[in-house]
Structure formats: C-alpha cells, structure tokens
C-alpha cells in the first residue's frame, strides 16, 4: 500500500464527504479540525486517514491481503488492530492516555476525553480558549502512538509507554516554540507548563 499515493488521491477529492453519516454541520466541523492550521502536516495526515478509515493498521491490511494477520503487533496484546484499537482501546494506548489525560486536564481543563473526540476534535469542553491546545496535544498523542507502533514493528524494538510519552513531549515542545515566536515566552510558558510534564511520565 503506497500511503502517500492514497493520501494524495483522498485529498484530491476537493469536497469533503460526510463523516460516518453524521450531519453536514458536524462533518464540516470534523474536517476543519483535521485540517486545522494549528496542527503539523504529519498530524493532519493521520487525522485524515483515521477519519477515512484508511490508516494502514493490521485489520486494514489484512482485509486487503497485505498482512498475514489482523492481530495487534504490541507485545502480549492479542486484540484485532483496527484504528480504534491502535489509538484508544489497546492496553498500551490506554496506558498512554491515562497519563496524558492528566496533563491535558492540567493544561486545558478538558475532562471528557472519548474516542470520538480524540478522533474528531469535536466537543472538547475546555477552559476558555484552550481547545486549540487540547487538540494539539491530542494529535501529538495519536502521532506518537502510531510512530511507536511502527518503530516497534520495523525496528523490532518495542517502545515502552513512557518512551511513547517522551515522543509526545518532543512534538509538544515544537508547538511550545511555535507559540513563543507567536505569542511570547510568558504566554507560551503559561500555556504549556513544560516544567510539569515530567510528572506525567
Ligand atoms: Zn493492542
């Protein structure tokens, strides 16, 4: 499966389609979140692929004869690796979210994380003006879950949960520096509270 070609084909469809038969307004909101200028292109790609259901997880590949098994590649996990499993219900993902939920709450006041809102970026009930930060952190977590899964497979080197969280912090640090340039150091420090992150590993 040529991932880049698939992405290009999907993006060529100028008008976004309805998401899982959701109403037009909700679909529009979901596509806007997936295409938000506030998140990195690599994270937009993952958001697009997850909404379209074409992130090449094992279940996706197995259905197309591209993988011998649909089983999750994480150690000691026998679940079927579909997108929900990868990003949310795999015990590994649950462990990462458990820690990151605490940090997301600290930074944004967000308390109602569900699979739907980490997938779609909708209904993020945060403190005033903090939705963008919550959405950025959520996308850092999703990208890190996908990256750590791929490093585990292709380099035969399982990545521990805490290493996945460190990957996530690296990506969040990039946003912190973007915000320093955009809003100044005082604001960025207050928004990101980087010194507190080590409490969540
Ligand atoms: Zn799993």
Other C-beta atoms closer than 10 Å to the C-beta of 13 total: 9
Compute the distance from residue 129 Cα to the ligand 1 centre, in Å: 34
End-to-end CA distance of the chain: 35
Give 125-154 pLDDT, tens digit per residue.
999 999 999 999 999 999 999 999 999 888
* Tally of residues, the chain: 201
Compute the distance from residue 57 Cα to the ligand 1 centre, in Å: 11
Compute the distance from residue 167 Cα to the ligand 1 centre, in Å: 19
Compute the distance from residue 90 Cα to the ligand 1 centre, in Å: 4
Compute the distance from residue 150 Cα to the ligand 1 centre, in Å: 13
Cα-based angle 85, 168, 98 (whole degrees, multiple of 5): 55
Residue 58: per-residue pLDDT: 96
Residue 12: per-residue pLDDT: 59
Give 65-81 pLDDT, tens digit per residue.
999 999 999 988 999 99
Tell me which residue of 99, 124, 95 sits closest to 109, measured CA to CA. 124
Residue 24: per-residue pLDDT: 86
Residues of the chain falling short of pLDDT 50:
14
Residue 112: per-residue pLDDT: 87
How far is 173 from 7, CA to CA, in rounded Å? 27
Residue 11: per-residue pLDDT: 61
> Is the Cβ–Cβ distance between 169 and 197 less than 8 Å?
yes
């Amino acid at each position: 499966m040529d991932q880049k070609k698939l992405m290009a084909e999907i993006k060529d469809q100028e008008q976004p389609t309805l998401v899982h038969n959701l109403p037009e307004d909700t679909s529009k909101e979901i596509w806007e979140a997936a295409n938000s200028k506030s998140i990195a292109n690599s994270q937009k790609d993952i958001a697009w692929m997850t909404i379209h259901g074409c992130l090449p997880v094992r279940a996706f590949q197995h259905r197309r004869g591209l993988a011998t098994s649909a089983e999750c590649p994480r150690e000691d996990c026998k679940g079927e690796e579909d997108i929900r499993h990868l990003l949310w219900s795999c015990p590994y993902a649950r462990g990462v979210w458990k820690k990151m939920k605490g940090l997301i709450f600290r930074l944004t006041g967000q308390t109602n994380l569900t699979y739907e809102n980490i997938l779609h970026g909708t209904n993020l009930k945060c403190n005033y003006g903090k939705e963008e930060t919550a959405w950025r952190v959520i996308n850092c977590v999703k990208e890190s879950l996908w990256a750590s899964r791929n490093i585990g497979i292709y380099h035969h080197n399982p990545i521990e949960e805490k290493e996945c969280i460190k990957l996530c912090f690296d990506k969040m640090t990039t946003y912190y520096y973007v915000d320093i340039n955009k809003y100044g150091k005082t604001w960025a420090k207050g928004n990101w509270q980087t010194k507190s992150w080590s409490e969540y590993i």
